[in-house]
Chain A
Amino acid sequence: MQDQIDLTGLRVAVTGGTSGLGLALVRLLTARGARVAFVARTAELVEQVARETGAFGIVGDVGRKDDIYPIALQVTGNLEGLDVLINNASSLGPVPLAPLADTECEQLELALAVNLVGPFRLTKALFGALASSAREGRGALVINISSDAALNAYPGWGAYGASKAALRHLSAIWDQEAVDDGITFLSLDPGDMDTPLHAAAVPEADPAALKRPEVAAAEIIQALAAALPSRREAVAS
């Protein structure tokens, strides 16, 4: 059913776009006709994914304050505006995972910088563009990629879980505050996927038992289309 969703002309930004769920999203969004800009840290990978998908590649680290506005400028400059922002880039904190008592402060700060403060900063920098899209009747949406670790207390997942819990709450509050500006916030848990991040966290996991990121990406696009007034018909069909 989700194969029917036509996203032609939709302007979407994805962070963490060169691996795992982010890469699957960039591939699927471009295949559905969306105009996509994606962000990742490694220039060679960015170039490779840009070449493969036709999306605009942006080199940057959402965990670094100084990178945020240059990223935002390239997103809106390339797409001439923005309808959907997907904050997907994530950091586990300590790798391998560690109990909180063994977690260095800097590792917790890294998880917060990438998973919480980065999405806050980037959303704030792009809020004007999203509100502009909403004022023009195109709709506007922020999707923050969450995790069941945002809800459940899994030992060893302290830095990641705390940062994702905070991001989930940030999304819920911002959704309330921005409702009159026409901007919707969704916090979506894609489930346990076969991604490099999951492999770093649980190396012994059997990849075959995990969800494929392409499946999670299709579900997210379904939710995205359902949340945008201009695309709802596509979902119904």
Chain B
Amino acid sequence: MIGTDARGVEPARLLAVDADGRMRHLPRAALASLFKPGDLVVANDAATLPASLTGTHRPTGEPIELRLAAWVSIHDPTRFDAIAFGAGDYRTRTEDRPPAPPLAVGDRIDLGPLTVVVEAKQRHPRLFRVRFAGPTTTVLAGLARHGKPIQYAHRPEPLALWDSWTRIAADPIALEPPSAGFALDWRTLSRWRQRGVGFATLTHAAGISSTGDAGLDAQLPFDEPFRIPERTAAAANAAKARGGRVIAIGTTVVRALEAAANLMGGVAAGDGIARGRIGRETPLRVVDAIVTGVHQPEDSHFQMLRAFASDDVLSQISRALRESRYHEHEAGDSVLIDRASEMLLAAV
């Protein structure tokens, strides 16, 4: 009755790339000793809602899966923009999933103990605004009991809620895990503290990362709400003022910090919305380095890395990751990239 908590078997790895594009292969545990006193590591402490819900489209009796893709209003779990899929589950690649039954405004969909009403069609035929019937507490209970973490065919074993929470997970507003944070554990945070490396968090509602539809994927990431605590903004500004570096754990942290930055690189505390993509043309005002997962060049996550390194360096990174068989995706290995100086980027 007292079960075992299974965790990974083989130690994770880290490819560390410096501002000149030099690469080092390290055990990921080396993260604890990599940064300098005065540097600040910033992570996203959002916990993840189980945002995949299966059930039945009441008008047709057909099976349906809804994936909650974006909040309408943060902390109101009764309304979301959701993507509809037909029969089947995550074991089928999203690209190969049959379409959902045709949905009309006002349709009811039963999802286990929950019922949603389709409120509106959105800007893509598979994207809908839905509203859960019942008060917030009942909806949260239904999501907690019936929802599953959004997952993809590359990971065959069914994920439990605990697989989708990082160790620092706090407020449950992410719809997919802020997965770079899986690289962190409390021992690492303790080492940083001992070495004078700062640690701070923000909370960013990481949304859906892939839909299986090229047209819809082109709209990702959707607008994502975030909150930067006073102390985190103060820590980032103090680190910059003393010449320390700000290291972002994951793309969501980059999005939030850069969205909250003024032209001088000062970070404002408070609630905000991160819009649009970060890419080659985006000047980074705050973030000096990023720790991220291992992504394919076509991923939007990878596109963001173009703000950190030249295309030459990025293709060298891709080659190194492939040749050394780094594990991809959210439970895989990690990459640390120091942002190339503006000078270097401009020369490319």
* A-to-B contact residues, CB < 8 Å: 56-59, 65, 68-74, 76-78, 80-82, 106, 109-110, 112-113, 117, 125, 127-129, 131-133, 135-137, 177, 180-181
Contacts and interface: CB of A to CB of B under 8 A. Distances in A.
A117 B5 CA distance: 12
B193 A180 contact: yes
B169 A128 contact: yes
B140 to A, nearest CB: 4
A231 to B, nearest CB: 19
A128 B3 contact: no
Interface of B: 1-3, 45, 47, 49-50, 75, 77, 136-137, 140-141, 143-145, 160-162, 165-172, 186, 189-190, 193, 200-201, 203, 229-231
Contacts, number: 93
Interface centre among B47, B50, B201 (most CB of A within 10 A): B47
A73 B140 contact: yes
B47 A181 contact: no
A80 B75 contact: yes
B1 A128 contact: no
B166 A77 contact: no
B140 A74 contact: yes
Given A76-B170, A76-B172, A69 B45 contact: no
Contacts of B230: 136
Nearest to B193: A180
Interface residue SS majority, chain A:
helix
A50 to B, nearest CB: 8
Contact of B165 (A56, A58, A128): A128
A74 B144 contact: yes
Contacts of B47: 72-73, 76, 128-129
A182 B267 CA distance: 25
A82 B166 CA distance: 17
B143 A73 contact: yes
A78 B136 CA distance: 8
Contact of B140 (A78, A110, A127, A177): A78
Contacts of A110: 1
A77 B2 contact: no
B68 to A, nearest CB: 13
Nearest to A117: B2
B231 A76 contact: no
